[in-house]
Amino acid sequence: MVTLTRRDVVDLLDRHGLRPSRALGQNFVVDPNTVRRIAALAEVGPGDRVVEIGAGLGSLTLALAETGASVTAVELDRRLLPVLRSVVEPAGVTVVEGDALRLDWLSLLGDEQWVLVANLPYNVATPLVLDLLDGVPQIGRMLVMVQREVAERLAAGVGDPAYGAASVKVAYWATARLAARVPATVFVPRPNVESALVDIRRRPAPAVEGDRTWLFEVVRAGFGQRRKMLRRALASVVEADAFACAGVRPEARAEELDVEAWGRLAACSRRS
């Protein structure tokens, strides 16, 4: 099986009169070594079920199919679908038309465990990853390629400059790490930002117990005024005595609390 080269991708676009959509954030990977590296980092093979979001013209899709995994490719752009099908269906890939932010994931994935591998558009990466962690437990692992700043935010821990509310939400559901950087030179068109791969692995159970909707509300409030001390940033949602109950300094700032500390603070406060 052969993955797509830069010339293959350019020829496919020219032959079908297609141009990458800026609105959809389309940047196609055109380097066979890169897509095979991503497939290797995904640690998938025969017996694994892989879902790819934003398959585009199928470069990464072919590399995933090459591992022997069962691959389902999701693509929103109807212009690309006929070309994508012609490229990847001979390799045994199932192609599904749909918007990943609105898909009926239960119908698509069933009750089985899946691995998500994707080159995600920069404008939807964070909400999509967080939505999948929240609502699609069938996806037990993710390897996603995103803008480097987004990758750092998703994988950040206490003390990292990128640590924020999204980092806490990822940590609630999963462990995350930066797996690799990807140079802009392997894309067509070449993006103006750096990319990175984030490896996200769902925990057997959430990091903390309790009402997660309330927990995330408290976290958002804290990071909403991150330069303020928590006693001020959270004045409207957390009672003064909750800090002592949680073992959290009221003078601390949001970026100093890990997910466990946020969980204690939410548990010690009363939802109005």
Annotated domain spans of the chain: 6-202, 212-268
Which pLDDT score, from 0 to 100, does residue 26 have? Answer: 82
Q: What is the pTM of this model?
A: 0.93
Decide: 25 and 187 in contact? Cβ < 8 Å.
no
Which pLDDT score, from 0 to 100, does residue 58 have? Answer: 95
Inter-CA distances, 32 with 3, 9, 38, 186, 267, Å: 6, 11, 10, 9, 49
Report pLDDT digits (tens) over 235-267. 999 999 999 999 999 999 999 999 999 999 999
Instruction: Decide if domain 212-268 falls under CATH 1.10.8.100.
Output: yes
CATH of domain 6-202: 3.40.50.150
Which pLDDT score, from 0 to 100, does residue 214 have? Answer: 96
Inter-CA distances, 113 with 53, 106, 129, Å: 16, 11, 16
Decide: 68 and 40 in contact? Cβ < 8 Å.
no
Give dist(CA 10, CA 59) in Å, integer. Answer: 12
Structure token pair of residue 156: 């950040």
Which pLDDT score, from 0 to 100, does residue 24 have? Answer: 76
The low-confidence residues of the chain, meaning pLDDT below 50, are 272
Give dist(CA 87, CA 167) in Å, integer. Answer: 37
Same CATH topology for 6-202 and 212-268?
no
Give dist(CA 115, CA 108) in Å, integer. Answer: 13
